[in-house]
Amino acid sequence: MKIFRFSLSILALSFALTVNAANDTTKIVILSVNDMHAKIDNFPKFKSLVDSIRSVHKHVLLLSAGDIFTGNPIVDQYPEPGYPIIELMNLSGFNASALGNHEFDYGQDVLAKRVDQANFPFLVANLSFESPEAPEIKPYIIHRLDNGIKIGILGLIQINEAGLPDTHPAKLTGIKFERGIDKALQFKWLADSTDVLIGLSHLGFEDDVLLAGKMGEFDLITGGHTHTLVTAPKEYNNVMVMQAGSNLKYVSMTTLTLSGNKVIKKEAQLLSVSNHKGSDSAMEAMIAGYNDNKELNQVIGAAIYTLSGKNELGSLMTDAMTAISPLEIAFQNNGGIRIDMIPQGNITIKDVYQLDPFGNEIIHFKLSAAEIKSLISNSFNRGKEIDLQVSGISYTVIQDKDGLASDIVITLPDGTSPDDNRIFNTGLSSYLASSYEFDHKDMGRSLYTITAEALINFIRANKEINYQGVNRTFVKMAE
């Protein structure tokens, strides 16, 4: 009889503990950044900010929504490309990162090495590698807290109209991609296996909102790709959607409150990294060491005036291409112009690689004027705006009432327009040549010159650069 009473006591105690655990509240803080683009200089303040939050909150997750590479020559041109930011992310204690389109910029072999060196997983559900030697990329992870709460984190990557992420197609050989939203819907079951479900998305803000509308199982989608700064957080279909701009200037902080294993409250805010008072001194010293690069800091010329905007910077980039024989005309897509300005004063090799970090080769095509018009027209119609900067000609897009290009007027330096059959030696970056659709009989050939190298040589040869007010692209409404 005593044994029976003892068993009842144990049962009662067990039941009481279960009830108490179910009624306990848990606060989970999710800190997320996106599109850091190798901007490591903010890391000391960033780490101090993260550490200060960890000192207050027990359960903190630190996430990246992708595009950690490409944008800082100190990182991109490092002997092991990309390693400095991996080291800093390891020291900061990241829990996971989505794979962004620019993670492929260095090539798959380099990516595999960086993934290997990371103390955190890279997540993408909507890709699959054919090669057995491919980097270890997981579709999702389940993070378990010490109180048993399970947090699912699902990764997604952006896919363009061609069915590929926005990087050089040659870097994507042997990889199969699927539409992110469609693939995410196949993981609805993950919500039943977890208490909290987070979408770690590199789809872009608009697609994140669409995903939230179709998959209310997410508690939070924290995203990247579009560099959107969500200053007024809100929920869509009861899903909080966040994004923190770019270049490690901000951190999004989402706090989920759970009662038992159910989310009962969501709060989100944006934190400024630069406004944080503290800084990690050990990380400051480490970054100073990385930045002490004599080759990249070498002065190669000077800007008489500040070069700003796509027109001036793109004109410089394309002039550097037409300075190479036998090119007469050259084009540069706006997406490949990676900084907003080169300040007045000395220009360094680092400045050039910040402007043009991708390592594209110059491809020589023999194109007719009609084929050049096809290139300009198709590029314009992608977004109903100028997308190609040019050297050797200027051009005007005649825009119809629907916003599309109805005609292209090419103007030569002497003010005349060429016959459609006239052939021009035309230079395109290898990215533009392989990613843009246009009519061309000639398949092109490499000049075995990297666009950034052409820029360095051009600035060195000219010494003083002046592109103030230069504009070679125009739009006119059809009459």
pLDDT digits (tens, 9 = 90+) for 115-174: 999 999 999 999 999 877 778 899 999 999 999 999 999 999 999 999 999 999 999 999
Q: What is the mean pLDDT of the chain?
A: 94
How high is the pLDDT of residue 4? Answer: 31
How high is the pLDDT of residue 10? Answer: 36
Q: What average pLDDT does range 313-337 have in this prediction?
A: 98
Give per-residue pLDDT as tens, 104-113.
Answer: 999 999 999 9
Q: Which residue has the higher pLDDT, 412 or 23?
A: 412
- Is the CATH code 3.90.780.10 the one for domain 299-477? yes
Which phi-psi region, left, alpha or beta, contains residue 148 (left: φ > 0; alpha: ψ -120 to 50)?
A: left
Closest of 306, 339, 315 to residue 389, by C-alpha = 315
Burial environment of residue 91 by CB neighbours within 10 A (0 to 12, 13 to 18, 19 or more): middle
CATH number for region 24-291: 3.60.21.10
Give per-residue pLDDT as tens, 254-278.
Answer: 999 999 999 999 999 999 999 999 9
How high is the pLDDT of residue 19? Answer: 37
Domain(s) labelled CATH 3.60.21.10 in the chain stretch across 24-291
Give per-residue pLDDT as tens, 415-429.
Answer: 999 999 999 999 999
Q: Which residue has the tokens 């991708």?
A: 358
Sheet containing 394-399, strands listed edge to edge, beginning at the edge strand earlier in sequence: 405-411, 394-399, 473-477
How high is the pLDDT of residue 337? Answer: 98
| pTM, two decimal places | 0.89
Q: Which residue has the tokens 């960086």?
A: 114
How high is the pLDDT of residue 134? Answer: 79
pLDDT above 70: residue 5: no
Are 454 and 364 in contact, with CB atoms under 8 Å apart? no
In the numeric block, which tokens belong to residue 373? 């018009």
pLDDT above 50: residue 45: yes
What is the percent of the chain where pLDDT is above 90? Answer: 93
Predicted confidence band at 23 (pLDDT cuts at 50, 70, 90)? low
Give per-residue pLDDT as tens, 51-93.
Answer: 999 999 999 999 999 999 999 999 999 999 999 999 999 999 9
Closest of 74, 80, 164 to residue 116, by C-alpha = 80
In the numeric block, which tokens belong to residue 168? 């050089």
How high is the pLDDT of residue 479? Answer: 85
Domain(s) labelled CATH 3.90.780.10 in the chain stretch across 299-477
How high is the pLDDT of residue 54? Answer: 98
Give per-residue pLDDT as tens, 240-255.
Answer: 999 999 999 999 999 9
Are 100 and 157 in contact, with CB atoms under 8 Å apart? yes
How high is the pLDDT of residue 3? Answer: 36
Give per-residue pLDDT as tens, 450-472.
Answer: 999 999 999 999 999 999 999 99
Q: Report the 3 state secondary structure along the chain.
A: CHHHHHHHHHHHHHHHHHHHHHHCEEEEEEEEECCCCCCHHHHHHHHHHHHHHHCCCCEEEEEECCCCCCCCHHHHCCCCCCHHHHHHHHHHCCCEEECCHHHHCCCHHHHHHHHHHCCCCEECCCEEECCCCCCCCECEEEEECCCCCEEEEEEEECCCCCCCCCCCHHHHCCEEECCHHHHHHCCHHHHHHCCEEEEEEECCHHHHHHHHHHCCCCCEEEECCCCCECCCCEEECCEEEEEECCCCCEEEEEEEEEECCEEEEEEEEEEECCCCCCCCHHHHHHHHHHHCCCCCCCEEEEECCCEEHHHHHHHHHHHHHHCCCCCCEEEEEHHHCCCCEECCEEEEHHHHHHHCCCCCEEEEEEEEHHHHHHHHHHHHHHHCCCCEEEECCEEEEEECCCCCEEEEEEECCCCCCCCCCCEEEEEEEHHHHHHCCCCCCCCCEEEEEEHHHHHHHHHHHHCEECCCCCCCEEEEECC
In the numeric block, which tokens belong to residue 428? 């395109």
